[in-house]
């Protein structure tokens, strides 16, 4: 008798499930169609977002990331509508609440990673520098070799491979030498105040610098008496040098000092 009752209970349960399935069949078919339609639309949306972002940023990593986010957003919209058709809207609310809690926890756990990511997006779109530019930031000077969402890679003048988090680049000053065609070079030195050629030093120094290719054309050098220090007078030389390569500054400084020293030795001032 007990086995018969148990069997009847199982039969009734399965029978109710079957009746429910038959009643829900139209909704189930509609939900599947809606979900498949949104998957198709999400793929189209992903391709569209990738093309637009890549055209604006020229960065495959960022384009792929944002297009994937767009795909997931479209997919979850379709999933929410499909579950609502199946009258499972409470499930949708639970999923959204759970996703919000998980997102909040991950946000606190990966604050630095998130900051680097946001800074990488800013650098990608605003383009304060690009691959191949020579920049100076965070105490390093070098050529930009790679820009990623998390970090930027520099190759320094002495050959070091430096990876700098984008957050540090975003928060600190950047000098982009590639966007600065000319850079002023300042050299200061002293000569004897009572020497016969002291007054003519300005012309002598300017003459010695003529024809120096490293000096930017159209911006003449200046030689100024800037101070009197005991028995000496201080002279300040200002020149503009080509800044297409950051190494030009040191090379030009060396060439100018060599020529100025030659002039001072010729006049027996040193």
Residue by residue, DSSP assigns 114-167 as HHHHHHHHHHHHH-SS-TT-EEEETTEEEEEEEE-SSEEEEEETT--EEEEEHH
Q: Of all helices (H) and strands (E), which one includes residue 269? A: none
- CATH T-level topology, domain 2-109: Helix Hairpins (1.10.287)
pLDDT tens per residue across span 153-180: 999 988 899 999 988 988 889 989 888 8
pLDDT band at 217 (very low <50, low <70, confident <90, very high): confident
- CATH T-level topology, domain 180-266: Alpha-Beta Plaits (3.30.70)
CATH 3.30.70.100 in the chain is located at: 180-266
CATH 2.30.30.60 in the chain is located at: 128-178
Task: Judge whether residue 1 has pLDDT over 60.
Answer: no
Cα 74 to Cα 36, 69, 95, 127, 173: the distances in Å are 11, 9, 16, 29, 39
DSSP classification of residue 216: P
What's phi and psi for 130, nearest 5 deg? -135, 170
21: exposed, middle or buried (Cβ count in 10 Å: 0-12, 13-18, 19+): exposed
**Is pLDDT larger for residue 110 or for residue 144?**
144
Q: Which residues make Cβ contacts (< 8 Å) with residue 123, sequence separation at least 6?
A: 129, 147, 152, 166, 169, 170
CATH of range 128-178; options 3.40.50.720, 2.40.100.10, 2.30.30.60, 2.102.10.10: 2.30.30.60
Stretch 225-249: mean pLDDT, rounded?
Answer: 85
124 close to 151: Cβ distance less than 8 angstroms: no
pLDDT for 80 equals 82
74 close to 43: Cβ distance less than 8 angstroms: no
pLDDT for 7 equals 62
Stretch 71-75: mean pLDDT, rounded?
Answer: 87
Q: What is the pTM of this model?
A: 0.60
Residue identified by tokens 């495959």 is: 60
184 close to 240: Cβ distance less than 8 angstroms: yes
Rounded Cα gap, residues 81 and 201, in angstroms: 85
Rounded Cα gap, residues 247 and 180, in angstroms: 14
Rounded Cα gap, residues 31 and 145, in angstroms: 49
**Is pLDDT larger for residue 53 or for residue 91?**
53
pLDDT for 105 equals 60
Stretch 13-30: mean pLDDT, rounded?
Answer: 68
CATH 1.10.287 in the chain is located at: 2-109
Stretch 95-99: mean pLDDT, rounded?
Answer: 65
pLDDT for 237 equals 92
pLDDT for 157 equals 85
Calculate what percentage of the chain has a pLDDT beyond 90.
11
Rounded Cα gap, residues 242 and 231, in angstroms: 36
235 close to 198: Cβ distance less than 8 angstroms: no
146 close to 205: Cβ distance less than 8 angstroms: no
Rounded Cα gap, residues 166 and 153, in angstroms: 10
3-state percent helix, strand, coil for the chain, nearest multiple of 5? 60, 20, 20
């Amino acid at each position: 008798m007990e086995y018969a009752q148990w069997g009847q209970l199982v039969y009734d349960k399965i029978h109710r499930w079957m009746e429910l399935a038959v009643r829900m069949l139209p909704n189930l078919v509609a939900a599947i169609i809606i979900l498949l339609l949104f998957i198709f639309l999400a793929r189209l949306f992903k391709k569209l977002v990738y093309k637009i972002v890549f055209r604006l940023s020229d960065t495959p990593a960022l384009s792929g990331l944002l297009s994937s986010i767009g795909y997931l957003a479209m997919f979850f919209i379709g999933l929410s509508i499909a579950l609502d058709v199946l009258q499972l809207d409470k499930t949708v609310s639970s999923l959204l609440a759970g996703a919000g809690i998980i997102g909040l926890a991950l946000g606190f756990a990966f604050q630095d990673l998130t900051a680097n990511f946001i800074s990488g997006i800013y650098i990608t779109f605003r383009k304060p520098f690009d691959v191949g530019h020579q920049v100076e930031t965070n105490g390093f000077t070098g050529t930009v070799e790679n820009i990623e969402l998390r970090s930027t890679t520099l190759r320094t003048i002495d050959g070091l491979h430096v990876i700098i988090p984008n957050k540090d680049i975003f928060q600190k000053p950047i000098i982009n030498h590639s966007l600065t065609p000319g850079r002023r070079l300042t050299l200061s030195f002293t000569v004897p105040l009572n020497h016969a050629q002291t007054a003519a030093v300005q012309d002598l120094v300017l003459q010695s610098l003529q024809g120096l290719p490293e000096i930017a054309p159209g911006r003449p050098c200046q030689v100024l008496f800037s101070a009197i220090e005991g028995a000496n007078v201080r002279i300040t030389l200002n020149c503009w040098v080509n800044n297409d390569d950051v190494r030009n500054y040191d090379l030009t400084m060396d060439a100018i000092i060599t020529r100025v020293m030659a002039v001072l030795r010729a006049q027996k001032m040193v």
